[in-house]
């Protein structure tokens, strides 16, 4: 017997905990590697983020070149009242205005800590070579730290 084709709308609603009208609606299904709710349609072999599906369901197709952004900043939220269309630049500006960008130690690839930055800055009278060897850095990194061109938040 062939497997029935799932109705994507029914599937969506079966995985959403619809709370109050103005509250975040929790996605109860699976999540992708970035922490966004994800919907899979095995028959069509497509994958979609839950908030994008919600936006299409409530607002229609996503305009070309636009992103679906969260005003609530909850990746798992599917409430259309918390979603808006914006360009990638709008999304980045929203993130920056809310101070949500990863900085310093929060970045996964950072090999320095805030304490190390403070120490490098306190030793501005030493040679680049000494600091580069001790902290395993290239001279341009030390220069940018000394000049407050990087790690500005420290």
Q: Is the domain of 20 the same as that of 69?
A: yes
> Is position 119 within any domain?
yes
> Is position 151 within any domain?
no
Q: Is the domain of 45 the same as that of 77?
A: yes
Q: What range defines the domain where residue 123 resides? A: 104-146
Phi/psi-derived region of residue 151, left when phi > 0, alpha when psi is between -120 and 50, beta in every other case:
left
Residue partners of 95: CB distance under 8 A and separation at least 6: 101
pTM value is 0.64
Q: Which residues pair with 40 in a beta bridge?
A: 47
The mean pLDDT of the chain is 86
Chain segment 86-121, per-residue pLDDT in tens: 999 998 888 878 877 666 666 666 788 889 989 999
Q: Is the domain of 115 the same as that of 139?
A: yes
Count of structural domains within the chain? 2
Q: Is the domain of 111 the same as that of 77?
A: no
H/E element, 119: helix 114-122
Q: Is the domain of 40 the same as that of 66?
A: yes
- The whole-angstrom separation of Cα 49 and Cα 14 is 15
pLDDT given at position 22: 92
pLDDT given at position 108: 62
- The whole-angstrom separation of Cα 53 and Cα 39 is 8
Q: What CATH number is associated with residue 65?
A: 3.90.75.20
Q: At what angle do helices 128-135 and 139-146 cross, to 10 degrees?
A: 110
């Amino acid at each position: 017997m062939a497997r029935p084709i799932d109705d994507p709308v029914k599937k969506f609603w079966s995985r959403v905990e619809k709370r109050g009208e103005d509250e975040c609606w929790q996605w109860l299904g699976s999540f992708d590697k970035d922490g966004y709710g994800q919907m899979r349609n095995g028959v069509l072999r497509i994958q979609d983020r839950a908030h994008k599906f919600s936006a299409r369901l409530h607002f229609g197709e996503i305009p070309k070149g636009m992103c679906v952004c969260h005003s609530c900043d909850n990746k798992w939220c599917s409430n259309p009242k918390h979603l808006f269309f914006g360009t990638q630049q709008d999304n980045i500006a929203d993130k920056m205005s809310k101070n949500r960008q990863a900085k310093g130690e929060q970045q996964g690839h950072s090999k320095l800590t805030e304490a190390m930055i403070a120490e490098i800055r306190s030793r501005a009278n030493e040679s680049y070579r000494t600091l580069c060897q001790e902290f395993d850095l290239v001279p341009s990194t030390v220069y940018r730290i000394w000049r407050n061109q990087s790690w500005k938040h420290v």
